[in-house]
Amino acid sequence: MSSIILEARDLRYRYPRGLEAISGISFHIRKKEKIALVGPNGAGKSTLLMMFNGMILPDSGIILFDNETIRYDTASLRMLRKRVGFVLQNPDRQIIAPTVYQDVAFGPTNLGFNESGVKEAVTLALRHVGLEGFERRPPHQLSGGEKKRVAIAGVLAMDPDVLVLDEPTSGLDPSGSEDIMELLDELNHDGKTIIISTHDVELAYPWADRAILMLGGKILQEDIPEVAFGNPEYIRRAHLSLPTLLELHRELQNRGFLLQGKKPRTVLDMMHCFETLLKKTCCHVRPGAITICNVDRHDRELLLLWRSMHPTLSTGAMGTRAKQRAENEQMSLDFTYGVIDKCILKALLGEDSLILTTESMVSRVYQRVDTYGRESGIRIPVKQLDDGTQPVTENVGSVK
């Protein structure tokens, strides 16, 4: 387990008008964790989040950042806010400058970067969120999802260790929400701790490492999502709804089906449950292969050639730059969210698939497929994109 980055000890906060928003909260968050704070409106989520970067001062209790108590003098707050980036719920309120470039540059400029440093930080941040070329656009011309990305880029430009997002998916369409969640995943993969507050149980459930259920300024439950979202009584009290997969799992159990293993978090897990339940695999004798195309390394011609040789292939893109690349090449994508799982599902049907992804995410594909292989005993071949002339040779076949 990695070390603790944020810790709260018995936080209490009362609004000036006398309502107690936070009444005795203690918890800790480890480095590189993905935390989802869920609860009904008025549970104190936003108030709690605002305490993480010192925007709200608790009445009592302390917050530790990197094992040091937060101090509220100007210099310490500056340091804290550089390291804990906060993205407001409403991007219109977060974006303050008249152009995208200026807004993203706001943080670095105030941190005292020189001109080239600012430019570099802005370029990097915009690249991260997939908004290259938007520098001179005024924010009021952007769509909701794009504004959200600008807001995130504005915080990323300060290179924080912890990213706190208040309702990152509110007001976005489903695919926009998924894109944002994937972006957060990608950032987490790059080593950032991510804390979000949300009502969207379906999105938070597969995404989070840990979920914190809040109600009336207190923590109702704090655990891995399977447990935190698995208690119908708590879910009801917190005005949420059970994730569909968990509900399905519960209903199957209520009907006397013995489901082994852990509770399902993804469709893939659920498939695995069914397969063990029916004591047979739906998998073809020979699972399909997953090919990875690293958009940072593989060149365009190779990809196009490969695509033209496999025209019916299902394609997924993981990561912002990969998606952008696909858009540039006018490739239609079959999957843009939960790509690895969907490709594994395809492979189980005996179909091949292609994943476009970025340098840093390649290892993740291997990891996920490996983990799945260990759990299910089915080994799915994964290979990097080559010239495509020779057939798949490595790791072929299922080892049952």
Partner 1 sequence: MFEELLEDIAQKNGLREINTYLKLTAGLGAILLCLLSTSYLPPLFIAVVLTGAILFLARVDAKTYAELFIVPLWFALMSVAGIILITGGQDVFWSWDILPSFSLSITRESINQGIFVFCRVIGGMSAMCFIALTTPMTDIFIVFRQCRVPEVVIDLMMIIYRTIFILMDQVVQIYHAQVMRLGYSTWRESIYSFASLCGAAFIASWDAGEDLIRAMDARCYDGKFALLGETRPVERMSCLAVVIFLSLSTAIVIVSGNSTII
107 binds partner 1 (CB under 8 A): yes
List the Cα angle 110/112/113 in 5-degree steps: 110
135 binds partner 1 (CB under 8 A): yes
d(CA 46, CA 37): 9
154 binds partner 1 (CB under 8 A): yes
Nearer to partner 1, 162 or 211 (CB): 162
d(CA 272, CA 240): 27
| Tokens 């969210």 belong to residue | 337
Which listed residue (126, 155, 184, 235) binds partner 1 by CB under 8 A? 155
**355 - beta bridge partners?**
292, 316
Min dist CB 136 to partner 1, Å, is 7
In this structure, which amino acid lies at residue 45?
K
Which listed residue (105, 214, 343, 356) binds partner 1 by CB under 8 A? 105
276 binds partner 1 (CB under 8 A): no
Min dist CB 383 to partner 1, Å, is 44
Widest Cα–Cα separation across the chain: 72
53 binds partner 1 (CB under 8 A): yes
Nearer to partner 1, 135 or 334 (CB): 135
d(CA 153, CA 172): 17
Q: How far out from the chain centre does Cα 15 lie?
A: 32
Which listed residue (103, 146, 179, 341) binds partner 1 by CB under 8 A? 103
Choose the binding region for partner 1 from 99-107, 205-213, 252-260, 333-341 (rule: CB under 8 A): 99-107
Nearer to partner 1, 117 or 397 (CB): 117
Nearer to partner 1, 4 or 79 (CB): 79
3-class DSSP state of 298: coil
Which listed residue (8, 37, 43, 95) binds partner 1 by CB under 8 A? 95
d(CA 251, CA 232): 12
Q: Yes or no: say if 160 and 192 are a contact pair by the CB < 8 Å rule.
A: yes
| Tokens 């001062």 belong to residue | 57
Which listed residue (13, 101, 134, 306) binds partner 1 by CB under 8 A? 101
112 binds partner 1 (CB under 8 A): yes
65 binds partner 1 (CB under 8 A): no
Do the bridges between strand 290-294 and strand 382-384 make them parallel or antiparallel, or are there none, so unpaired?
A: parallel
Judge residue 46's burial from the number of C-beta atoms within 10 Å of its C-beta, 0-12 exposed, 13-18 middle, 19 or more buried: middle
Binding mask 224-263 for partner 1 (x = CB under 8 A): ----------------------------------------
Min dist CB 79 to partner 1, Å, is 9
Nearer to partner 1, 22 or 343 (CB): 22
d(CA 148, CA 206): 21
143 binds partner 1 (CB under 8 A): no
- From the CB of residue 145, how many other CB atoms can be counted at a distance below 10 Å? 18
Q: Yes or no: say if 11 and 54 are a contact pair by the CB < 8 Å rule.
A: no
Contact footprint for partner 1 (CB under 8 A): 53, 55, 78, 81-82, 86, 88, 90, 92-99, 101-103, 105-112, 115, 118, 135-141, 154-155, 158
